């Protein structure tokens, strides 16, 4: 402010127009004010998150359109380890303005995903919902549980989410120890592949 006032006085003494300088100074001041306001707002949001603790480090959360394991909570950002094995930084103001889904059950990650079975599966009517659950999904979960019992907190669960004329949608829940999101990222697609493999085998055996 002192430098700006000095420059304005010098320009006026020399008889030079100072309107352009005042305009530039006003724009610069507005930009600095906006930037500092964003920073202060972010810091206040960081304090609020640290005090209220909607989640902790190693918790698995979904924040808006992002999900992953919380790796660090700072005054400016929440660092998330995502399913793509990358770490993203979400500004604290964005965190407070987003819907937060806390995917934890005690000391375990409680993660749910859906599997839809449609198309030829049901238009051809070669597998019933009962067979889908009892002969395909549940045996696969049992096999998966026996294989990864030491790595999981609890055996996965399956339930029917939606039943339509030509499709069925199931919800699969997995329980992974807290702080082991990388294990979740590897095992979740494997369980899906095992279910689809058993589905293909069932179709071949049924001759459909």
Token pair for 16? 């030079």
Which domains are present in the chain?
1-102 (2.30.30.60), 105-206 (3.30.300.330)
- Please state the pTM of the whole predicted model: 0.75
Block means of pLDDT (10 residues each) for the chain, 208 residues, are 53 52 49 53 72 90 94 92 95 89 94 85 65 93 96 96 86 96 96 94 78
Tracing tokens 């640290």 back to the chain, one arrives at 50
pLDDT at position 123 is: 46
pLDDT at position 164 is: 82
HEC string for the chain: CHHHHHHHHHHHHCCCCCHHHHHHHHHHHHHHHHHHHHHHHHHHHHHHHHHHCCCCCCCEEEECCEEEEEEEECCCEEEEECCCCCEEEEEHHHHHCCCEEECEECCEEEEEEEEEECCHHHHCCCCCHHHHHHHHHHHHHHHHHHHHCCCCCEEEEEEEEEECCCCEEEEEEEEEECCCHHHHHHHHHHHHHHHHHHHHHHHHHHCC
pLDDT at position 38 is: 61
């Amino acid at each position: 402010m002192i430098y700006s006032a000095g420059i304005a006085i010098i320009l006026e003494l020399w008889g030079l127009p100072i309107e352009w300088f005042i305009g530039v100074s006003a724009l610069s001041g507005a930009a600095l004010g906006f930037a500092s306001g964003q920073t202060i707002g972010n810091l206040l949001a960081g304090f609020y998150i640290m005090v209220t603790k909607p989640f902790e480090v190693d918790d698995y959360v979904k924040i808006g359109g992002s999900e992953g394991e919380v790796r660090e909570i700072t005054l400016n950002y929440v660092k998330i380890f995502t399913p793509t094995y990358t770490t993203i930084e979400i500004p604290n103001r964005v965190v407070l303005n987003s819907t937060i889904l806390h995917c934890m059950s005690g000391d375990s990650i409680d993660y749910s995903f859906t599997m839809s079975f449609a198309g030829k599966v049901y238009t051809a009517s070669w597998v019933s919902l009962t067979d889908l659950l009892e002969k395909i999904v549940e045996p696969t979960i049992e096999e998966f549980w026996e294989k990864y019992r030491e790595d999981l907190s609890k055996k996965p669960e399956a339930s029917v989410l939606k039943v339509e004329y030509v499709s069925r949608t199931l919800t699969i829940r997995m329980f992974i120890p807290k702080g082991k999101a990388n294990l979740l990222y590897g095992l979740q697609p494997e369980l899906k592949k095992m279910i689809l493999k058993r589905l293909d085998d069932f179709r071949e055996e049924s001759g459909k």
